[in-house]
Amino acid sequence: MTSFEFKVDNDLPNLIGEYLSALANAACIHNQPKGYLVFGIEDKTHDVKGTSFDPETAKGKGNQPLKLWLANGLNPRVAFHVTQMTYQQATIVVFQVDAAFDRPVEFYGTAFIRIGESKTQLSHHPELERRIWNRRTQVDWSVQQCKGASFGDLAPEAIRKAREEYKKKFPAKAADVASWDDVTFLNKAKVTIRGMITNAAILLVGKEESGPLISPAVAKMSWFLKDGQNQNLDYEHFGPPFILNVDFLFARVRNSKYRHMPSGTLFPTETTKYDPWVIREALHNCIAHQDYGLTGRINVVETPGALIFTNVGSFLPGTVERVIMEDAPPEVYRNPFLAEAMVNLNMIDTQGGGIKKMYQTQMQRFFPLPAYDISDQNRVVVTIHGEILDERYSKLLMNKADLDLWRVILLDKVQKRIKISKEEARVLRSQRLIEGRYPNLHVSARIADLIEQKAQYLHTRGLDEQHYASLVIEHINKFGSITRKQADELLFPKLPEILHEKQKKNKVNRILAVKLKDRIKNIGSRSKSKYILNKDGESG
């Protein structure tokens, strides 16, 4: 009964809209075609009480007709019907609303859900929200027939490339591939089905002019070059066949050599900014996991220091943490037929292991780890940095710290000053991997010892308060006194870099008022402090 809501009377139009949103979303989650809001029946007993509510005369906000106001507030515009009837000599009103399909149904900007007997905002239940977004994956768009398409819409040069890659993937079948005609080959490679041209076939091996055949889906990859001020310098768009055009897009990326100071044998003096496999894996993932029903394109934005890949559609595994920690492929693929075809054509190494391998490859190159932004339910953004981390830190962190990949990812965020959660910080702190007051964290002495950077660690952590106090006493002994301004000028350069100005002022306050309270005294005004040694301080 999750998709039923019973009321006796209700004259608040906004509550009706919220219940329609909640019931549509609940019906989707529980695989029910519709949800029902019933007036005139008591909720707990289901006794027939009748209702005085009349949906035909009721008004929404702004004195609009209720049904029109409700329809305008539901997004997407799911269908609902209102029925008035007489049952057991009582008036009953039934709202029937269609289930959400591929995205939550909102009412004037907010989505609701029915949990047990309560209505609440869907955003409070992210797992349920994700299940609605993932509903689209139950229908594999990529396996469907591209109506009106024939083998004449496929590019011969793309099929030749597909044959070459198939033989690389399955070398034992190389002799057989040579004897297959194109129809047989594409069926064997699971790009077509019994000669039927699929949407996946148009994407991978279709002619450039075949792209409109899959409309309203968009078969488009775009490359943009931007400068440091985010201004466009160049761009190019690529359509089918993707099996060829991924290489043409890759060729547009300025994968220049990255030079840096040599450091013995730990790291070469020259390397490329981006690993070619990582670029291709990120791009192929965009193709395989794009939600083509959302009619968006795949974008690759090149900035001076990074490549940014975007595709439309939710991140099906839920979180990168789940992918890394569970070390298993996701249970559901948005385009399973397309993904399998890409595996067979050597575009994807294995289904499910690409993300983890991207992280490992970046680690082995001592570059920052990939950054996934999945905050938008309709978009996945992956940033691949082209700047090197401290190679000594990365090398010794991997070889001597004996950490799993997820903890290395968290430490990578700490190194890059990216905020981590309090729970993640607690885990790292329990292993003595980080120090500092949340959220101003830094790697701990344990890591500093590993990378032989104790001096840098001390500079980051800050010296012992007794050392700062000694500097103040030394100044007073030399000049007879110290003002608050002089104390700031003396200590600020020596305090940890991660502290902002207010935190540094508080630190100096503590040194003067707490650490030195028995050794110095303030002889200045309240607005202009001036400290000298007291009698006990002179002997201390």
- List, as one string, the DSSP characters of 468-511: HHHHHHHHHHHHS-EEHHHHHHHHGGGS-TTS-HHHHHHHHHHI
Strands 232-238, 4-7: pairing kind: unpaired
Assess whether 473 and 523 both reside in one domain: yes
**19 and 40 housed in the same domain:** yes
Q: What's the pLDDT at 4?
A: 79
Q: What is the mean pLDDT of residues 217-230?
A: 94
pLDDT digits (tens, 9 = 90+) for 19-32: 999 999 998 888 78
Please, what sign has the CA dihedral across residues 45, 48, 49, 51? Answer: positive
- Asked if pLDDT for residue 402 goes beyond 80, the answer is no
Q: What is the mean pLDDT of residues 170-190?
A: 96
415 and 469 belong to one structural domain: no
Same domain, 13 and 116: yes
Per-residue pLDDT at 461 = 58
Out of 270-274, 333-337, 441-445, pick the least confident.
441-445
Q: With 50 as the cut, is the pLDDT of residue 80 above it?
A: yes
Q: Is residue 170 included in any domain, yes or no?
A: no
Contacts within 8 Å (CB) and 24+ apart, 278-282: 278/358, 278/361, 278/362, 278/370, 278/384, 279/250, 279/253, 279/255, 279/307, 279/384, 280/246, 280/250, 280/347, 281/348, 281/349, 281/354, 281/357, 281/358, 282/307, 282/309, 282/358, 282/370, 282/382, 282/384
CA dihedral (236, 241, 247, 250) in degrees, to 10, reads 30
Q: Is residue 470 situated within a structural domain? A: yes
% of the chain beyond a pLDDT of 70: 86
Amino acid type, 358 = M
Look at residue 299 in the predicted model and tell me its pLDDT.
98
- Same domain? 11 vs 106: yes
Residue 237 is assigned to a structural domain of this protein = no
User: Which range (149-158, 449-458, 489-498, 523-532) has the least confidence?
Assistant: 449-458
If you average pLDDT over residues 156-181, what whole number do you get?
96
Integer Cα distance of 367 and 279 in angstroms: 14
Report the pLDDT value the prediction gives residue 263, as an integer from 0 to 100: 46
Q: Between these two residues, 203 and 424, which has the higher pLDDT value? A: 203
Q: What's the pLDDT score for residue 407?
A: 81
Residue 313 makes CB contacts below 8 A (sequence gap 6+) with 289, 290, 291, 294, 334, 378, 379, 380
Look up residue 441 and give its DSSP letter.
-
Tell me the CATH number at 529: 1.10.10.10
Residue 1, pLDDT score = 46
Rounded Cα distance between 308 and 301, Å, is 5
Q: Using a pLDDT cut of 90, give the percent of the chain over it.
A: 46
Half-sphere exposure of 5 (CA within 13 A, CB side): 27
Q: Are residues 412 and 519 in the same domain?
A: no
Q: What is the pLDDT of residue 79?
A: 83
The more confident residue out of 351 and 364 is: 364
Beta bridge partners, 83, equal 94
pLDDT of residue 98: 87
DSSP 197: P
What's the pLDDT band for 433 if we cut at 50, 70, 90?
Answer: confident
Q: What is the mean pLDDT of residues 93-97?
A: 92
Residue 111 has pLDDT above 70, yes or no: yes
pLDDT at 223 over 50: yes
Average pLDDT over residues 265-288: 84
Domain count, the chain: 3
Task: Tell me the mean pLDDT in the region 245-259.
Answer: 91
What's the domain range around 435?
A: 391-461
Provide Rg for the chain, Cα atoms. 32
pLDDT band at 264 (very low <50, low <70, confident <90, very high): very low
**CB of 204 within 8 A of CB of 191?**
yes
Whether the per-residue pLDDT at 117 is higher than 50: the answer is yes
Which of residues 77, 110, 135 is at a domain's end? 135
Higher pLDDT, 368 or 353: 368
* Residue 137 neighbours by CB under 8 Å, 6+ apart: 316, 332, 333, 334
C-alpha distances in Å from residue 369, one per residue of 36, 179, 359, 384: 48, 44, 6, 7
Cis (ω within 30 of 0) for the bond into 212?
A: no
User: What is the C-alpha separation between 39 and 41, in angstroms, rounded?
Assistant: 6
Average pLDDT, the chain: 85
Instruction: Report the run of H or E that residue 187 belongs to, with start and end.
Output: helix 182-188
**What is the C-alpha separation between 410 and 424, in angstroms, rounded?**
7
Mean per-residue pLDDT for 355-366? 85
Separation between Cα atoms, residue 248 and residue 242, nearest integer Å: 9
Q: Which residues pair with 380 in a beta bridge?
A: 311
Asked if the structure places residue 92 within a domain, the reply is: yes
Residue 404 pLDDT > 60, yes or no?
yes
Mean pLDDT of 75-95: 88
pLDDT of residue 271: 81
* Same domain, residue pair 457 and 531: no
Asked whether residue 484 falls in the same domain as residue 520, the answer is yes
Domain annotation covers residue 310: no
Q: Of 424, 441, 461, at which residue does a domain stop?
A: 461
Q: How far apart are the first and last CA of the chain?
A: 79
Q: Is 329 domain-assigned?
A: no
The enclosing domain of 94 has a CATH number of 3.30.950
- Find the DSSP H helices in 207-319: 242-252, 276-289
Task: Clarify whether residues 130 and 16 are in a common domain.
Answer: yes
Q: Is the dihedral of CA 163, 169, 174, 176 positive or negative?
A: negative
Choosing from 110, 135, 160, the residue where a domain stops is 135
pLDDT band at 252, cuts 50/70/90? Answer: very high
127 and 8 in a single domain? The answer is: yes
Residues 448, 498, single domain; the answer is no
Task: Let me know if residue 227 belongs to a domain.
Answer: no
For the cut 70, the answer to whether the pLDDT of residue 216 exceeds it is: yes
pLDDT at residue 331 above 60? no
* Helices within 350-479 (DSSP H only): 354-364, 391-400, 405-415, 422-430, 445-450, 454-461, 465-479
71, 56 Cβ separation under 8 angstroms: no
**What pTM was computed for the model?**
0.61
Axis-axis angle for helices 66-73, 13-29 (nearest 10): 50
pLDDT score of 262? 43
Q: Is there a domain that residue 147 lies in? A: no
**Given a cut of 80, is residue 207 above it in pLDDT?**
yes
Give the per-residue pLDDT at 116: 76
Q: Which residue has the higher pLDDT, 8 or 345?
A: 345
> What value does the mean pLDDT take over residues 447-474?
69
Residues 22 and 127 reside in one and the same domain: yes
Strand (E) or helix (H) holding 322: helix 320-326
